[in-house]
Structure 1
Amino acid sequence: MFDTKRLTTLPDAPGVYLMKGNGGDVLYVGKAKNLRKRVRSYFSKGGESRYHIRFLVGRVADIDVIVTDTEKEALLLENTLIKEHRPRYNLDLRDDKTYFSLRLDMNEEFPRLTIVRRPARDGARYFGPYSSASAAREVLKQLYKLFPLRHYPLETCRRRRRPCLFYQLRQCAAPCHGLISGEDYQSLAEGAALFLAGKNSDLTRLYRQRMAAAAADERYEDAARYRDLIRAIEVTVEKQKMVAGDGDTDVVGFFRDATDLSVSILFYRGGRLMGSRNYLLDWEMDDAEGLSSFLSGYFNRDVVIPDEILIPFTVDDTDPLGELLTERRGKKTVLRHPVRGTKAELVRLAARNAEAYLREKREKDSGMEQVLGELKEKLHLANLPRRIECYDISTIQGRYSVGSRVRFQNGAPDKAGYRRYRIRTVPGTDDFAMMHEVLSRRFRDGHGGVDRPDLIVIDGGMGQLNVLTAILEELGLHGIDAVSLAKSRVERNMPDNEVVRSDERVFLPGRRNPVVLRQNGAPLLLLARIRDEAHRFAITYHQKLRGKGSIRSILEGIPGIGEKRKRELLKHFGSIRALREADREQLAAVPSVSPALADTIWKSLRGEEPEAP
């Protein structure tokens, strides 16, 4: 139990406090403008009505404090310590989906747009976020029609003997082949950046000026090109409505219900709504502290930082967080709590989104709980299968053999639990032995520990299931359910000469006959989805290794080519076709390849016998 007499000795200064349990484990990390005042509030005489805080305080055995010079330093230190200790009572920001951004580096020779998962602090410009890679690709598809920037890496483009198909479609200006000047290409890149930033009025004003200048110089083709660009831009944006000014704004919505805290962020770019991002958090502490922790945790990640962040109420560290984001972004970023007008209405809209997301999530979880309950009942499982793992093997004649593990938590993919295994000890095509190796490696350290699944699914029939149950018995792993899922088979009905497909079957340990679940029922569809995901994950890894191995195999036996040069050639050319099509000069462009070695490689790839040294 914590000695409250220590509270009077705490410093009256900004800093970070770490609440620890009896074993020294960190339960909670917080920041404060005044450490003594903030920590004492947890142990006030009136007591704390919220059960979550009472439970936390009851477990605190010791409190460490670290004094900082400023609130901003406390904010930085808090994020660092949360990442290091992962306290159970701090917010755990888990996204509802993966988001993407468009990257444009104006310092490149010919700037190119690429899709990235996480913005980096590398001096490039980032636009987004987009809710999926397909959404980002759709934006690129439309953008290339207006601004024909290059599609591929410059080295790849220059290796081609002629411009690619996108040049023929007028969606690439072919700078790699000198078909556009550097100045004109830079103008296209700047136009794309302005368009993505939503500064269409600035863009059309700039192009009108250039159109007038070109007409004055009697460069009528250039003037017509700018005229067409202006028309295309106006047609593209005429139906979009500007609602949040002409800058970039993130609007934070906040909704509290019992123990759950739902947060929704609406992304406005150039005044237009681009998308949203949602979080569902387990949090019972003070709302202001929860919002503050969320903001510092979210914007401490690799995300696009906007000009303005609208929040539903003020928090203590608004100013230091704004200063910190300004430093990271290199431009001014402000946090505001609007109380009236359009921006206040946007905050209320974000709050409604947060509430709707919480209700939708609860309804979905309730439906999945029913599916998992039905699965437990139909398959006579000992546990409700909240955490399900599935394993699969992929190989071709014993070469490049790999295994995969996928994990589903409450019916949804848990990507943190995905693993790939390169088969090390099994020669040939013994699938049973390969599965034995994969499962043994999965459970050999600590028998799975707290990471144990409730149910393991194996792709296959009774033989694969016997391997699984034998390993579980061998390792003393009791209390884990196991089943195998056999794919449906195509059969021919001989009397009618009709082709039919059999049902998917589930095999259980100790039972000879399989269980046939309702074929379109939710339990079987869930198992099939997990099985198919494990197969996809395994075969993707297998194909990746096979592709690398194919390039390495054609280089075997060439004098002067060792493992290091194989890796460099693989990285430089990326495919067998590109390597075979490369001429001597392109091969010699690889840093470790001399002109003489390039000639040897070139001849060997064409079946010519290289000269003896």
Structure 2
Amino acid sequence: MSFRPKPGAIPDAPGVYRFRDAHGRVIYVGKAKSLRQRLNSYFADFSALHPRTQSMLTTATDVDWTVVGTEVEALQLEYSWIKEFDPRFNVKYRDDKSYPYLAVTMADEFPRVQVMRGAKRKGTRYFGPYSHAWAIRETVDLLLRVFPVRTCSAGVFKRAGQIGRPCLLGYIDKCSAPCVGRVTPDEHRELAEDFCDFMAGNTSRFIKRLEKQMREAAADQEYERAARLRDDIQALQRALEKQAVVLGEGTDADVIALAEDPLEAAVQVFYVRGGRIRGQRGWVIDKVEEITPGELVEQFLLQMYAEASPDAMPREVLVPALPPDHEAVAELLTEQRRARVEVRVPQRGDKRSLMETVERNAKESLAQHKVRRAGDLTTRSKALQEIADALDLDQVPLRIECYDVSHLQGENVVASMVVFEDGLARKSEYRRFAVKTKEGDVASIHEVITRRFRRYLEERSATGELAPDADADAEEGHGPIDPETGKPRKFAYPPNLVVVDGAGPQAAAAQRALDELGIDDVAVCGLAKRLEEVWLPGDDQPVIMPRTSEGLYLLQRVRDEAHRFAITYHRSKRSKTVKESALDGVPGLGPARRQALLKHFGSVKKLRAATAAEICEVPGIGPSIAEVIVSTLKGDAP
């Protein structure tokens, strides 16, 4: 199936997924503890699947997913999506048409508690949705002990009034029997309002009231009444346990999160009403200018709530960064809602945890957008042509190599080389360099380009044989033999375009290195991070590509990949240096023994906790040197 996600693209996290058909309609919604395992099961063995699942997969043309923090969140989001999209392959709830709600008909003279489905009616208060109707009935059965509201139909209610005798629930005190006048309409409405308050989350006052009445009854030696009140309290507590609230009681908020890069941003919003996640929505936008997260949030809030109705707006808007003038934005939203709206950044607790979940969804949305954009052949071809036009190249750059330098205050200087062919990463040809010069980024770029293309010239002149000095670069990740394949590694393929991370000086250094080697058929450019400017060697002004250009987007992806690869190598080198430096003070311990100790124990921390006998197990370490190591490291321990 052509829409199968690429290996590694699916996150190993709980979430909800949707299959769509060729018209974009959602045809199936499911949840999973691990999205990766669940979705991979659809594409593993087609013949072993259920016939209905096979039919669903042959109808589908796309699949997407939303990551959540817990299984409870995944369950609630699945309910919301099934209710919203009514997918035809979700047979489990097919007959329900929609999810059941607990409804209280407050518009009636004698409000009734019942299960309702379908479109909501005016004058009725709703609680839910619930997964099953029996879950509502269990909750109602518990609450009727304390709030004996009418649950019968209009026909039963009318007939009971005609014959002057209530139904069974009236006899067992689970209905106040307004049909026969045991309570007045006002008293019965008060019971219904208390029932709604409890379901809305205002629970503590009812339990406290019952506890007070129970103690008074016990003090008056009315033990039967006290026992009944005790059972009522337990019934309320059991009903509370059945209500899974995602956030705090009565939380009414929109949770907004961002994921961005210099060219694009993804926005995700989770709508929380009554403490439960009621929906989710996302956008991916092109950034047409350099903008801070706070400014991006401000623009988004204004556009999102500009035409929203007061009922659709929350009491609280949780954002990842405050707008530059957040007080004015909050005031504007308050006017729109006709009630106070607070805009703030959650710092801790459940709201912060939910914000982190929304942030993961925003990052996943942006990553999926990039994968789709990069995987489109037409888009890649357009990007390569735009680069060729902007740099005035004779042909499109089918092979692009990008170089980046990473260091910490001039120490552990390393560089990376990443390769993109036909607009896609070719990770098998990535290379790393341990830079020898200490004269800055410009000199480092010159050294790396010189070494890479000197190897290219040597391997080309040797007609496939390795260069004589191949062993010199073994540390850099491209030694004479690839341990995985057993075949020689080569630099025999020249790029059409060399991209360096930096501006004019870095581009000029790369061009100078090529000129010194006599190479004149490789183009060079630099890409500066701050304004995403493209610099050509020797030019005083940069080449400005449109911010929405596919070519600039591809150059940015290449540069970011080189930066990631370089900084990963730098961190590993720095970590190795720190580990070895901790053993420098041990007398009689040379480089070989230090390496053997670190390889055996894995870290200096574990070595420090080892005994002399355990250290003696390392080849080349005798009892005397083991005692010296123990005494030295124990003395260094904080």
TM-score interval, normalised by the smaller of the two chains? 0.3 to 0.5
What TM-score do the two structures reach when normalised by structure 1?
0.40
Structure index of larger Rg: 2
Normalised to the residue count of structure 2, the TM-score between the two structures is 0.38
